[in-house]
Structure 1
Amino acid sequence: MVGRPRLSRRPTRPLPPGPTAGWAVAEVEQALTVPVDPASAAFFDVDNTMMQGASIYHFARGLAARKHVRSRDLLRFGWYQVRFRTMASENGGHIASSRESALSFVAGWRVEDMERLCEEIFDDVMADRIWSGTRALAQLHLDAGHRVWLVTAAPIELGRIIADRLGLTGALGTVAEVRDGVYTGRLVGDLLHGPAKADTIRELATEEGLDLARCAAYSDSINDTPMLSLVGKPVAVNPDGALRREARRRGWEIRDYRTGRKAAIVAAPVLAGAGLMVGAVSAGKAVRRRRTSRRYNL
């Protein structure tokens, strides 16, 4: 049985200098004074929902800049992950390819090195790509005393860093097996994608006594329909075409923080590079406290 760390909130580390840091720190300090509503929570997808583009793509850029990966490796990861990211339905062959590309990359890496790189690259590359509109939605939940979780197919290490920097409750992410502080090249379970997100949220709700009818979920992708269907308040954020149609059909709220041509441009990194690393690091999922858990609490 998979062990789970207890809920706890760590002091939030400051964001790097700039406009993002100011509002994030101020809002988090305010949120911590609000009584917690133990039955309510909000779940946010990361790529193109909380962050412009794909977090793994940005992570890959950071790795390439530090000479940790070769261009041909990024292209190979990208090819597998473009197929993975654009599949509206679960396809065992594509998911297996994504898993293999991920594992071939992280095997032999030390967890502490991966965590350090996640921190550095978030601060250098990702911090200014957080959608201010989505961040404001998360803050509304925090101000109401709700717990706020990121739910991502990306590595739990990366999800943890993003949640930590934004002052959120924690992250649910993909987990890779670790022995003696080193990634073995095997995943613990499957990539946290599609129906797996909904299954993990159900498990969390049972453990934490959440009333899913009082919870909210936010995503840009049709792949996250199972997660959105699970809660009382589903919201399509910067939705792809298929999710926009589904949201309209089902009467779900739609919020789009993109403007004009930018909406089309923002999608490019997801297709051209989302993959570049969702495989490369999707296997990098070791939680700092319990290395076998999809979940990390701050």
Structure 2
Amino acid sequence: MIEYGPDGTVVAGARTVPSEPPASEPARTRSAAFFDLDNTVLRGASVFHLARGLYRREFFTGRDIAAMMWKQVYYTVLGENLTHVSQIREQALGFVAGHTVDEISRIGEEVYDEVMAEKIWPGTRALAQAHLDAGDDVWLVTASPVEVATVFADRLGLTGALGTVAESVDGVYTGRLVGEPLHGEAKAVAVNALAAERGYDLARCAAYSDSANDIPMLSLVGSPCAVNPDGALRTHARSHGWKVRDFRNGRRAAKLGVQAAGATALAGALAAAASRRRSR
């Protein structure tokens, strides 16, 4: 969720975006493009790759994951109610409790260079670059940790990133979230606030996502596009005349579907393990 600082600027995740450009700069563009991250820009889920990087750095044990994996898979297969989803989201970044923001940001950069850079969809990268070349601002808007989203924005030369924010005190994570996870309707709220702050005309803006969860964000803009869409989003896009771009082949799409389910299970296991450690 967008928050405002004492000087009237909008705080976008870990960054502060000036409400007005310096007088020496030309007037900002009135159009922008908003990209989801997981399965839209990146093959698979960023939290899965980050978790593997943290595991290699001994942030948690395989036993922590295995102990809770079956329960999360059970929820995934049989369906999660809103209470389960809320609990998982609130704890999703708890496994970094006690570690510093600088440390996690550094690890995020390392994991990007080691693993994630080569998993960016070339087609989506080209779409983002086309907007940049046209003079548009380009933002990532994702439920992934803002530290991860910021690395992507920096490496790809984008304008900035909005993501889920973990609370920190004196530069150390507390294991709690700041506000709500940036997911579903919350993305639309954040984009609306950012557009008001930056002066974007949403009718001239574009948005890209793979998930039906992002229909609220996609519906805000004049040029919505479904990228590597799930079934529900593909159906919605076709019925509303939205553009569809699919950069997967059949085998790749099936593999990513399995990866997404596994990433959901892994995220739940990580949250549960962190919660268990904090209760000791």
**TM-score surpassing 0.5?**
yes
Contact kept? 2:207, 2:225, Cα under 8 Å: yes
Distance in 2 of aligned mates of 1:199 and 1:81: 30
TM-aligned CA distance change 1:278 to 1:156, over 3 Å:
farther
RMSD: 2.6
Tell me what 1:51 maps to.
42
Identity %: 56
List gaps (5 residues or longer) in structure 2. Answer: 6-10, 20-25, 272-280
CA contact (8 A) 2:188 2:216 kept: yes
Inter-CA distance 173–211: structure 2 relative to 1 (3 Å threshold) = same
Moved more, 152-161 or 99-108: 99-108
- Work out whether 1:107 is the aligned partner of 2:97: yes
Counterpart CA distance in 2 for 1:147 and 1:78 is 42
Could you say what secondary structure the match of 1:230 adopts? coil
| Deviation of 1:187 (Å) | 1.2
Partner of 2:8: none
Q: Secondary structure in 2 aligned to 1:105?
A: helix
Read off the aligned partner of 1:223 and give its amino acid letter.
N
Structure number, greater radius of gyration: 2
CA contact (8 A) 1:82 1:271 kept: no
1:97 to 80, 87, 90: 87
Match of 1:169 among 139, 159, 167: 159
Rounded to whole Å, the distance in 1 between the matches of 2:69 and 2:164 is: 17
Question: 2:225 is matched with which residue?
Answer: 235
CA–CA distance in structure 1, aligned partners of residues 87 and 205 of structure 2: 34
Task: Call closer, same or farther: CA 1:79–1:36 in 2, change over 3 Å.
Answer: farther
- Do the aligned residues in 2 keep the contact of 1:60 with 1:74 (CA within 8 Å)? no
The structure 1 residue matched to 2:188, chosen from 193, 198, 201, is: 198
Alignment check: 8 A CA contact 1:56 1:277 kept: yes
Tell me by how many angstroms 1:80 deviates.
Answer: 4.7
Q: CA deviation at 1:113?
A: 0.9
Of residues 59, 62, 71, the one that matches 1:68 is 59
Counterpart in 2 of 1:187? Answer: 177
1:46 alignment partner AA:
L
**Alpha carbons of structure 1 residues 109 and 159: separation in structure 2 relative to 1, 3 Å:** same
Equivalent of residue 160 in structure 1, options 150, 158, 165: 150
With over 3 angstroms needed to count, the CA separation of the structure-2 counterparts of 1:47 and 1:250, relative to structure 1, is same
1:211 CA drift (Å): 0.4
Shift of 1:66: 2.3
| TM-aligned CA deviation for residue 70 of structure 1 | 1.5
Distance 1:270 1:241, change over 3 A: same
| Structure 1 contact 195–224 (Cα < 8 Å) conserved | yes
- Pairwise CA distance, 1:167: 0.7
Q: State the AA in 1 paired with 2:17.
A: R
Partner of 1:6: 17
Structure 1 counterpart of 2:238, from 231, 234, 248: 248
C-alpha contact (below 8 Å) 1:149/1:169 kept by paired residues: yes
Partners of 1:110 and 1:165 lie apart in 2 by: 22
SS at match of 1:53: coil
Could you give the per-residue CA deviations for residues 122-144 of structure 1, whole angstroms, max 9, x where no partner exists? 11010000000000000000000
**How far did residue 69 of structure 1 move?**
1.9
Are the equivalent residues in 1 in contact too, given 2:168–2:174 (CA < 8 A)? yes
- The higher relative CO (CA closer than 8 Å, separation ≥ 6) is in 1
> Normalization by structure 2: what TM-score?
0.82
The runs of 5 or more residues in structure 1 that have no matched partner are 9-34, 282-298
2:249 to 250, 256, 259: 259
Residue 77 of structure 1: CA displacement? 6.9
Aligned to 2:124: 134
